[in-house]
Amino acid sequence: MGKIKLLSDEIINQIAAGEIVERPASALKEVVENAIDAGARNISVFLKGGGKEKIVVEDDGTGLSDEDLTMSVKRHATSKLSSDNLFDIMSYGFRGEALPSIASVSNFSIESGGRGIAVKFSEESGVYPSPVQNGTIVTIENLFGKIPARLKFMKSEGAELTRCLNVLENFALVRNDINFTARSDDKTLMSFNGDSTEDRISKIVGSDTFKRAVYISDEGDSISISGYLFHPMDNRHSQGFQRIFVNGRVVSDMTVSISIRNAYKDLIPSGRFAVVVLFITIDPFHIDVNVSPTKSEIRFRDGVGTQKFITSAISKNLMKFDRTAVEIHAPTQREYQIASTPLAARREYFRDGTTGLATMEHVKQPPVIVAREPTNPSIDENEKPNIFGKPIAQLFDSYIVTEVDDGILIIDQHAVHEKITQHKMLESINVENKRFITRAEVLRLSDSEVGIARDLIVHINSCGFVAEVVQQSIIVSAIPQIINITEALEFIRDTIENHDLTDSINILDRMKRRIADIACHNSIRFGRRLSIDEMSAITKQMEETPSIHQCNHHRTSFIKITKTQLEKMFDR
């Protein structure tokens, strides 16, 4: 008897489920997508146990006929593919495996048009009468209940619930014409009812954070992008706070992720991630959405061109953050009382009866300071008011205090001067701005490094070097004006050893990091007393320096206290 045999339908379904249904959130996603494709305008979700115990999705879509109801739980059946071309997908995609796969790992039922059908871990019970006449109700219970190995991969109830809510948030962002609600028992967890896309984003990220966002819109060949970029200081520990949508579908894509990282690279610390909400529209024939069974990944046919377009579009709009300050939260007298109260006695300040400790948020992330143009065109150019205010004092020989129309700014003199110095240095990095050295320097190369050096030498020279590869060496005869010979040779060696031929921007990145260190050592330091004229010169240069809101090491450069906040502090 042969060793190879056909798998049972039950095992086949469970294998398919493993590709599509990883956790409650992925099951929820499949069902909600079907509701949207059915033309639903109201989708209500009930979750119990983070979705592990129960998921109920109710919609007011077109519903299912008796025949479609039966076919909906059959494998390799779909209503989403009108032709034999898998790339011609304009709905949420090929769903031949979704419902039967979910039904193979749960107690599953679907009700519509006065009929219902139940499938218990692949065992179909047949059609039965149902009170559901309009729309459709899908119920998923005891997910992975008979597959303990899968249950081990589930997270806590709270973590799974968060994933489910993230799924609904994503749908709410791309379909503001649909109302979404989610509840657990008698508690409403989420409600998007008649909100605009902007209102929905504000609900998700928080109104204060959204106030600091800037709108992006750009078009290229067969591709367009729109959405919101969030302040670099609102960066997060995880890439999960980047909401990327391509043709209305949320995706996780390296091309877009790298584009975001490249655009924000000088604005956020290493290991942190920008927050963005981006909507990308592209001709369907320029992408492949069938890379993964869940359609959560895509492949751009022109990945390099797409990456350049998105990076450029984001970078142009990030300049809008150049005039942003951190705004100080002004604690009220009541908050001061809470802060000075012994920990054990702080509970009395909580009206909701919670037992957590009262805390003070001393610093809030800021709204954008808008650059105001003079209303009187006859004012001399040299007498224009500085948007960073008029210097009035210096604190601790380290901080410049300026007065602006609606408050005061406190400026870290070292941080801003470091940024100013770096910007001037960066502007000087070019082919012309170099100095020839007395004696040419020779860097020896290994066999494997020769080819790399030949590919990179043109980029190195564009930074102000004069260097050439001769046999197994690099001969250096000129270096950029702003660094010394030792630093120049270290830079070339580091570039060769840590090369990335797919992204020539990395070379300039390394130079920028080198320059940032040099700039730091040559900047005005903490503890240096400045005259009013010197402080005025610094604030003037701040106006001319991009990304002045933070220093080269991504620390805050200046903060703002508004007149209203000062009045609140003194209970006026």
**Domains delineated in the chain:** 9-195 (3.30.565.10), 198-321 (3.30.230.10), 388-572 (3.30.1540.20)
Gap between the Cα atoms of 288 and 542, Å rounded: 46
Gap between the Cα atoms of 512 and 480, Å rounded: 13
Decide which of 20 and 404 is more confident: 404
User: Which pLDDT value is given to residue 110?
Assistant: 95
- Which residues are registered as beta bridge partners of 285? none
User: Which pLDDT value is given to residue 507?
Assistant: 67
User: Which pLDDT value is given to residue 296?
Assistant: 65
pTM equals 0.67
Among 332-341, 473-482, 514-523, which range has the highest average pLDDT? 473-482
Among 357, 227, 203, CA closest to 281: 227
pLDDT band at 341 (very low <50, low <70, confident <90, very high): very low
- Mean pLDDT of the residues in the chain: 80
Gap between the Cα atoms of 255 and 278, Å rounded: 13
Gap between the Cα atoms of 282 and 291, Å rounded: 17
What are the tens digits of pLDDT across the range 162-171?
999 999 999 9
Range with lowest mean pLDDT among 17-31, 142-156, 331-345, 513-527 = 331-345
User: Which pLDDT value is given to residue 286?
Assistant: 84
Instruction: Find the mean pLDDT for residues 241-246.
Output: 93
User: Which pLDDT value is given to residue 269?
Assistant: 80
pLDDT band at 97 (very low <50, low <70, confident <90, very high): low
User: Which pLDDT value is given to residue 556?
Assistant: 84
Does position 334 have pLDDT exceeding 60, yes or no? Answer: no
CA distances from 452 to 291, 411, 493, 531 (A): 32, 44, 11, 51
Percent of the chain having pLDDT more than 70? 76
Q: Which residue has the tokens 């007395």?
A: 438
Percent of the chain having pLDDT more than 90? 42
Gap between the Cα atoms of 410 and 391, Å rounded: 10
How many CB atoms sit inside 10 A of residue 346's CB? 17
User: Which pLDDT value is given to residue 539?
Assistant: 93
Q: Interhelix angle for 157-174 vs 24-37, to 10°? A: 20
Indicate the burial class of 182 (C-beta count within 10 angstroms; 0-12, 13-18, 19 or more): buried
